[in-house]
Amino acid sequence: MLAFSLTFAQEAIRVNFDHLKSLTETIELLGDTVDIIHIYSTYPDYRWQDAAESGPEGMACVDDAARAAVVYLGHFELTGSAEDLHRAKGLLRFVMKMQAPDGQWYNFLFSDRTINTQGQTSRKLFAWWAARAVWALGTGYRVFADRNPLLAGSVKTCFDRALPQIDSLLTRFGQCDTLAGYPTPRWLVSESGADATSELLLGLTEYYRATRSARVRSMIEKLAKGLMLMQDRNAEAYTYGLFRSWRTLWHAWGNGQTQALAAAGRVLKNARMVRAAEKEARTWYSRLLAERFIKEIDLSKPDTSRRFSQISYDIRPIAVGLIRLYEATSKKKYLAMAGLMASWWTGNNPAGQPMYQPSTGRCFDGISEDGKVNLNSGAESTIEALAAMVELARYPRAARMSVFRRIEKRGSEKISACLFGNEKEGRVLLLRDNVRTDFRLLEGSAALKTWRLLQFSNP
């Protein structure tokens, strides 16, 4: 029974790079051969389409290439695939070519192979695209250091070139503003950008794993302190435990603080970082699973919460963050939570449809408020889904839960209970204590027995 159900789950989340490869093009750029990833892919024929949401942007960007490189490198470490290494190399070369001499990055490339140096989402900055570039380079250096010293040396040169930009951020270390009663540290990316900083922190942590650099360790510790200041500590609040993304706003997309803090805390053996990550999982992630997923909320205006649209980039930081938390704590309940969150891709979502297609490798671009699926399959959606699939493939327990569905929810003011299940694998019950802001997971007969004993009326 278990072997059969795992085969069923593994097929539903099978890593398939076919669509990502179809978005990839090898080009000549500034005297080198690099790989780019085309940004949009439109239904029904999934042809390439350039980005133009903030004026003319371009056909490819560092944002997507960097994230894809991280995914290929992760898959290589899981499978040993030589093709994964080859594709990561081409993407890393593109990321390095887009770096300016001062260590910042441009983001977009136009279709005529020139760099977009003026666009709002592309001009030279140490912003989102720089954080993702550091993530890719840090991971690339760790993986290639012993396997390809020549490439690793080039990667290290670019990584080290970015460090003065991080030093510049940290000149504001210790400076905080207060907005609507919330502390907002000024030494994060874009000042209070905890979301972008989380991806920067992931890159620094990967590099530190390979080098044990004291300078980089200090950066990790200071940036992590800023992230932890963005955590809601009001135990009476609906939002207790979450990490704000920017200023007073929390949004699901890119909010990878638990992933970053769990990873850094594990590597640095820093229990405080791990505890902060665990608090978000116990309090906020359990709420999103037991009650209903929301996309964003402004903590200064709680009635502004929104559920839609829902995209892959909302789900990956949570699902993979929970896996990193398991790795940091060895608590198996976080693997189960990761799988339940990842079930969004297999059909446990407001549309009731699978968002990831293992047969093609496509991930659809999102779900709108009316429950309709956007059948386009652009680079970000595809890469973020594949990032999660690679991680789920490491852990059968999480993979098994990824094909569960929400069956029913019951609750009271004190307890929220949500039953998930799968015909082949049984049931799991998430019990959230709304008073202690903690949760338990029960499986199999224990889940069903407890569910039958609950005396709550349905909401």
Give the pLDDT score at 292: 87
Distance (Å, rounded) from C-alpha 134 to C-alpha 397?
31
pLDDT average, residue stretch 279-294 = 95
Q: Looking at the structure, tell me whether residues 298 and 416 fall in a common domain.
A: no
Give the pLDDT score at 51: 87
Q: How confident is the model at residue 425 (pLDDT cuts 50, 70, 90)?
A: confident
Contact 432, 441 (CB under 8 A): no
pLDDT average, residue stretch 34-40 = 98
pLDDT at 232 over 70: yes
Retrieve residue 259's tokens: 């992933």
Structure pTM?
Answer: 0.96
Give the pLDDT score at 302: 84
In this structure, is residue 341 part of a structural domain? Answer: no
pLDDT at 448 over 50: yes
pLDDT average, residue stretch 70-74 = 98
Least confident of 184-193, 331-340, 356-365, 450-459: 450-459
Q: How confident is the model at residue 456 (pLDDT cuts 50, 70, 90)?
A: low
Give the pLDDT score at 455: 72
Distance (Å, rounded) from C-alpha 78 to C-alpha 360?
21
314-348 pLDDT tens trace: 999 999 999 999 999 999 999 999 999 999 999 99
Q: Name residues whose C-beta falls within 8 Å of residue 325's C-beta, 6 or more positions apart in sequence.
A: 258, 262, 274, 277, 278, 281, 331, 334
Give the pLDDT score at 424: 77
pLDDT at 5 over 60: no
In this structure, is residue 284 part of a structural domain? Answer: yes
What do you get for the CA distance between the two ends of the chain, in Å?
34
pLDDT average, residue stretch 274-287 = 98
pLDDT at 88 over 50: yes
pLDDT at 459 over 80: no
pLDDT average, residue stretch 392-404 = 95
pLDDT average, residue stretch 214-222 = 98
**DSSP per-residue string spanning 426-457:** EEEEEEEETTTTEEEEEEHHHHHHHHHH--PP
In this structure, is residue 63 part of a structural domain? Answer: no
Helix 82-97 and helix 62-79, axial crossing angle in degrees, nearest 10 = 160
Give the pLDDT score at 53: 76
Last residue of a domain, one of 307, 325, 359: 307
pLDDT average, residue stretch 155-181 = 98
In this structure, is residue 439 part of a structural domain? Answer: yes
CA distances in angstroms from 218 to 163, 208, 262, 395, listed in the order given = 12, 10, 17, 32
Helix (H) or strand (E) holding 206: helix 194-211
Total domains, the chain: 2
In this structure, is residue 65 part of a structural domain? Answer: no
Last residue of a domain, one of 245, 276, 307: 307
Q: Looking at the structure, tell me whether residues 294 and 414 fall in a common domain.
A: no
- Which position has the token pair 């297999």? 346
In this structure, is residue 130 part of a structural domain? Answer: no
In this structure, is residue 34 part of a structural domain? Answer: no
pLDDT at 4 over 70: no
Distance (Å, rounded) from C-alpha 67 to C-alpha 362?
16
pLDDT at 373 over 60: yes
Q: Name residues whose C-beta falls within 8 Å of residue 157's C-beta, 6 or more positions apart in sequence.
A: none
Question: Domain limits at 267?
Answer: 172-307
In this structure, is residue 459 part of a structural domain? Answer: yes
Last residue of a domain, one of 257, 291, 307: 307
Instruction: Based on DSSP, count helices (H) and strands (E) in the chain, helices before strands.
Output: 16, 19
Q: How confident is the model at residue 1 (pLDDT cuts 50, 70, 90)?
A: very low
Q: Name residues whose C-beta falls within 8 Å of residue 178's C-beta, 6 or more positions apart in sequence.
A: 184
